[in-house]
Amino acid sequence: MPKDDEVTVYGCCVVALCRPVLFFLKENKINYKYVEINILKNEHLTPEFLKKNPKHTLPLLEDKGVFVSELGAIMSHLQTKFNIEPLDAPVQSRVDELVSWSSGSLHWDIGFSYVYPQIHPGLALDKDADNNIFIENGIKKVCEDLDTLEHAYLDNEKLWLLGPRTVADVTVACVVVVLQLVRFDFKMWPKVIEWLARVRELPNWAEVHQFHDEVVQQIRDSGE
């Protein structure tokens, strides 16, 4: 692919929704430059970055002066620009549905309602008692989401959402593995366990999740 077709991705190694974009780029052999934006140092709130994305969200795609935010819009832009083989309309609609779910309510339930308040003081409620109640409500949402995966989306012999030909499985899995940061036990959802194992075997998954896996291993080694 010509170098002048290179795009720039602004992301952060701790942001789960950046990983599906990197996976998609690698999977389709698209030239890209990666710029790390450290949200823990508020680099996404600098005047320079806010000019690019007033919503200060990640990931962010830059393509010849055009800035695209939101995961679904980024995927659509890349698919159109690089003429990625289109899927049948029903399949593409399901891909769009799963990408929207994972970047929307699924990420909110798993991340902001359950995991992040436990590991990031800036995303926790001020009072411990209030934060504990918030997390307890969050785990209920997480269980509902995993039940949906287990009994609806994975209720098939292939044990794929849509299969390795699309980015749907990877996108949802990128969000689900955030639960590993709090040593979540998936034993009540055996299909989810097997599905995650399959997704993790896909080419490029390990490279994209290197930092995440290192953090998870550190948590396991610490015994906390």
Distance CA 24, CA 169 (A): 12
Distance CA 222, CA 224 (A): 5
Please name the residues in contact with 86: beta carbons below 8 A apart, sequence gap of 6 or more.
Answer: 79, 92
pTM: 0.93
From the number of C-beta atoms within 10 Å of its C-beta (0-12, 13-18, 19+), residue 100 rates as: middle
pLDDT over 90 (residue 223)? no
CA angle 83, 207, 177 (to 5 degrees): 95
Q: pLDDT by residue (tens digit) across 43-80?
A: 999 999 999 999 999 999 999 999 999 999 999 999 99
Q: According to the model, what pLDDT value does residue 120 have?
A: 86
Please provide the average confidence, as pLDDT, over all residues in the chain. Answer: 93
Q: pLDDT by residue (tens digit) across 162-205?
A: 887 789 999 999 999 999 999 999 999 999 999 999 999 999 99
Do 6 and 61 meet the contact criterion of CB atoms below 8 Å apart? no
